[in-house]
Chains A and B, each alone.
Chain A
């Protein structure tokens, strides 16, 4: 091996690994990676673009077809392809200088710099055409990514608080336990009283569409309805009913925790449903944009 890899290279590699270990110990996330190295690079790039745009006099007026526009456009298009490659890169984790963390850090900050590169490439000429479509898709992708970064930075704490040292399956298991107890406790109830309990048992804790997931509101919740129905019920076995009511409110609490968990997870994940499909729409629009320019040269 030593003959295959020069000692010098191995040394550098070891040093890089060493630095990475220190970073890991310090719990340095992708945002703060290497003391905001990529934030600085990206910020510098934006500043360069903005100042040079102001200094360079493109006649008759700035647009994507000037030499400056071509330059920004080429940089932007290559950057978009490289940023898309994160989807491939993230499936291959490494710990070196170009670790996934470094890559993600660069992805986030260079992606944000694309706002300036792409927008200044347009020369602020927007219209109802494929060129502006590509720009708009790019902005949507970037903004959804920005949202993703923000929720990644803020929501995990809420997620952790909510789960109260329980795993997801433990949350589900709690509901299952309450269901079993409910089933047993409700046996003495009259048929009128068992119907709402049965409805609560039949309810899927994962039911509800994307709207319920994101809002955390389940207006047709059967457990809450059962609780209401039993509280109003009279006659029959009152002791058994009280026990069922107690179990129902406990199940309700467990359900609320699970649903809060689902809501936070939905908010953590929803941006990817914009970010990823629109990225491919963007690449398609970008291809159409570039081909159209050369087609009607």
Chain B
């Protein structure tokens, strides 16, 4: 028996050359040191690593020294007995020792199996030097990211929509389609933020009016009414011809099945939290600017004038007037002469507002008793109503009676007056008065002069008196006629109808129109800081009650300009006025809604006018009196003649 060390080398052509070297002795050493029988040039092998021996020539004992063992069948051992006939592979560092048997000899094959170092290993240059070696693939990342995004933001929301299709109100909690919310909802709709389907009912179908009207029933009716129940076709025909931008938008709308003329076109949503934005002028002007010709061209009947901007393009006001005595109220047609409104009264404003003359002197004589100054002011008779928006009707007892007395008799210090507003009672009272009282005694009957009886002949004293007594009740008719005729108490202010065909004396009904401008809104409260005569310029010169003293467009435009500041006349303190300041779409009888920040009036700029401006006004109105809103009126108790007259 002997150990044979076999070495295998490979030529460049790949041919293997096997060299066998018999090793002397029954025990051989293996290690890195050159003195070993088997020299293994491997740093992972100890200088004296192991001893290989065989006692019987068949079994081989391998024993490691110096602590470092060897690997056999995957286990690290310090000693091992190997049947050379069965063979074995042992591992020392980067080398392999194969033990086999050939005939009587034990073959020891030693070969390097590991690379010398890690760097010596083959590398794929393109991969090793680039980031691809240490990063997950880009393609993988692309797919993964895209898939995650699609799942979370497309599939998820569609699934959420699908699962609540037949549910009226969604449960609370997160729904995947919230990720689609394009912007916060207005505060009125904030509760719907989890329930997209409340408005977006069907997939790929634009929000319909049905979804709005489902809740907003009243507004919808009011909207239709304020537009004369115009059909959608008429509303669409009224719109201005589209510009480039709107053509683009219309193109998108048409291409993607978005019908036009829906509520949401003006009432845009998802525009941010807070109240819905106030309707800008553009939304009105888009149709109303040049609308008449468009409607006419589309074959509709037109009875509304064009309006584009309050400062530059707005029709003259058409106040509600009675064009003739006793006529029905109708909207005036400006441009056909001066506007008149017959309310049934005779009232010359010029006489009452004059700075001197009888009225002023009489008013002055009441100072201290009533709130009069040196002369009458507008606010002495006209007063705002409770909310300040409108002016209360003038009431005779309160506003006229201190001068225009209806007193006719004093009984025990109490003055009896004719009953205002009840002509029949006036007649009856006068008859009763004449029946119950004797004529005033003739002068001759007074004194202590002794009178002889018998002077009853015509023309004599008693005859005159008794005749007076006898006919006294008949004088009542004259008095009644006098009071209802020119120079009489009623006639001075009222239009009187003489008795005819069974009717007694009649007074024409008095109608003080509470609101002249029915289509727009005028708020007196918002104009507190301004004097009456600043706007009602015709009042101080008006000679007849039939003069319409409602200011025209011209007066408004002294301060109010268009939304963008457009104006035709010079304006010192401009108030930008969008349509919605005076008009409203959903006529509900209240003031037009305006966001709080716009409600602030720049009244300081108006009240702090330069002195010259005040002086100009006082030329018309006289010296400054107390303001309309400053009156503390000792209100007499009134009966229910609220209608005026």
Q: Tell me which residues across on chain A come within 8 A of B207, comparing CB atoms.
A: 297
Contact partner of B252 (CB less than 8 A), chosen from A70, A182, A202, A272, is: A70
Neighbouring A residues of B147 by C-beta, 8 Å: 284
What's the minimum C-beta distance from B145 to chain A, rounded to whole angstroms?
Answer: 4
Query: Closest approach, in angstroms, between the C-beta of B532 and any C-beta of chain A?
Result: 38
Nearest A residue (CB) for B41: A187
* A216 in contact (CB, < 8 A): no
Judge whether A206 and B128 touch: CB under 8 Å.
yes
Give the chain B neighbours of A270 by CB distance below 8 A: 131
Residue from B32, B143, B150, B161 in contact with A187 in the complex, judged by beta carbons closer than 8 Å: B32
In the complex the two chains form, what is the Cα distance from A272 to B146 in whole Å?
Answer: 16
Interface digits, B213-256 against A, CB 8 Å rule (1 contact, 0 not)? 00000000000000000000000000000000110110010001
Give A191 to B66 CA distance when docked, in angstroms: 10
Q: A61-B271, A201-B43, A297-B205 are known contacts. Are A67 and B182 too (CB-CB below 8 A)?
A: no
**Residues from 151 to 194 in B contacting A, C-beta threshold 8 Å:** 153-154, 157-158, 161, 177-184
Q: Contacts of B125 on A, CB cut-off 8 Å?
A: 168-169
Given that A125-B183, A129-B179, A180-B116 are contacting pairs, would A261 and B142 also be in contact in the complex, using a CB cutoff of 8 Å? no
Contacts of B258 in A (CB 8 A): 297
Which residues on A sit within 8 Å (CB–CB) of B283?
59
Residue of B nearest to A266 (CB): B131
Cβ B118 vs Cβ A201 within 8 A: yes
A239 within 8 A of B: no
> Interface centre among A65, A71, A210, A284, by most B CB within 10 Å?
A284
The CA-CA distance from A294 to B200 in the complex, in Å, is 11
Candidates A202, A273, A284; contact of B138 at CB < 8 Å: A273
CA distance A266 to B128 in the complex (A): 11
A277 touches B118 (CB 8 A): no
Query: Does B44 sit at the interface, judged by CB under 8 A?
Result: yes
- In the assembled complex, the Cα of A190 lies from the Cα of B48 at a distance in Å of 11
Asked whether B203 is an interface residue with its Cβ less than 8 Å from the other chain, the reply is yes
Distance of A272 Cα from B142 Cα, bound (Å): 11
The answer on a CB contact under 8 Å between B245 and A288 is: no
Nearest CB in chain B to that of A174: its residue: B119
Q: Which of A60, A187, A190 is most buried by chain B, counting CB atoms within 10 A of its CB?
A: A60
Q: Which residue of B lies closest to A204 (CB)?
A: B118
A251 to chain B, nearest CB (A): 9
B196 interface contact, C-beta 8 A: yes
- Against B, the Cβ 8 Å flags (1 = close, 0 = not) of A180-201 are 1011101101110010011001
A173 and B207 alpha carbons, distance in the complex (Å): 70
How many A residues have CB within 8 A of the partner chain?
A: 73
Taking CB atoms and an 8 Å cut-off, the chain B residues in 118-135 that contact chain A are 118-120, 123, 125, 128-131, 133-135
Distance A285 CA – B149 CA, assembled complex (angstroms): 6
The count of residues in chain B whose C-beta lies closer than 8 Å to any C-beta of chain A is 68
- Among A190, A208, A280, which residue has the most Cβ atoms of chain B within 10 A? A280
B268 at the binding interface (Cβ < 8 Å):
yes
Q: Is the CB of A288 within 8 A of B153?
A: yes
Nearest CB of B to A76, in Å: 15
Chain B's nearest CB lies how many Å from the CB of A137? Answer: 8
Nearest opposing residue in chain B for A191, CB measure:
B46
Q: Nearest Cβ distance between residue A145 and chain B, in whole angstroms?
A: 14
Q: Is the beta-carbon distance between A133 and B153 smaller than 8 angstroms?
A: yes
Residues of chain B with a CB closer than 8 A to A60's CB? 268, 271, 277, 280
Q: Given the complex of chains A and B, what is the CA–CA distance between A213 and B569 in angstroms? A: 75
Within 8 A of B (CB), among A147-189: 168-169, 172, 175-176, 179-180, 182-184, 186-187, 189
* A68 sits at the interface (CB 8 A): yes
Contacts of A68 in B (CB 8 A): 245
Q: In the complex, which residues of chain B have a beta carbon less than 8 angstroms from the beta carbon of A208?
A: 134
By a CB distance below 8 angstroms, the chain A residues around B130 are 265, 269
Report the bound CA distance from A124 to B161 in whole Å. Answer: 28
Select one of A65, A71, A180, A182 contacting B182, CB under 8 A: A65
Note all chain B residues with C-beta closer than 8 A to A266.
131
A283 on interface, CB distance cutoff 8 Å:
yes
A127 at the interface (CB under 8 A from B): yes
Known pairs A206-B133, A295-B161; A277 contacts B268 (CB<8 A): no
Residues of the B chain whose Cβ atoms lie less than 8 Å from the Cβ of A284: 145-147, 149-150, 153-154
- B249 near A70 with CB under 8 A, answer yes
Q: A201-B118, A202-B118 are in contact. Are A277 and B157 (CB under 8 A)?
A: no
Quick one: closest A residue to B199, CB to CB? Answer: A296
**A63 cross-chain contacts in B, Cβ below 8 A:** 182-183, 271
Q: Which of B181, B205, B249, B271 contacts A129 (CB 8 A)?
A: B181
**B119 CB contacts on chain A under 8 angstroms:** 172, 175-176, 179, 201, 203-205
The answer for the CA separation of A261 and B178 in the assembled complex, in Å, is 48
Assess the A127–B180 pair: CB atoms within 8 A: no
B window 253-303: CB within 8 A of A? 256-258, 268, 271-272, 277, 280, 282-283
| Cross-chain contact A66 with B180 (CB below 8 angstroms) | no
B161 to chain A: which residues have CB within 8 Å? 295
Closest to A296 in B: B200
Question: Other than the known A285-B153, A288-B153, what 19 A-B pairs have Cβ atoms closer than 8 Å?
Answer: A59-B282, A60-B268, A60-B277, A61-B272, A70-B252, A125-B182, A131-B180, A131-B182, A183-B117, A194-B43, A198-B44, A206-B133, A265-B131, A277-B144, A281-B145, A281-B149, A285-B149, A296-B180, A297-B200
Q: What are 16 of the A-B contact pairs (CB < 8 Å)? A: A59-B280, A59-B283, A60-B268, A127-B182, A127-B183, A172-B119, A179-B120, A184-B41, A187-B43, A205-B118, A277-B142, A280-B142, A284-B154, A285-B149, A292-B177, A297-B258
Top 5 closest pairs, chain A to chain B, by CB:
A277-B141, A281-B145, A67-B249, A201-B117, A280-B142
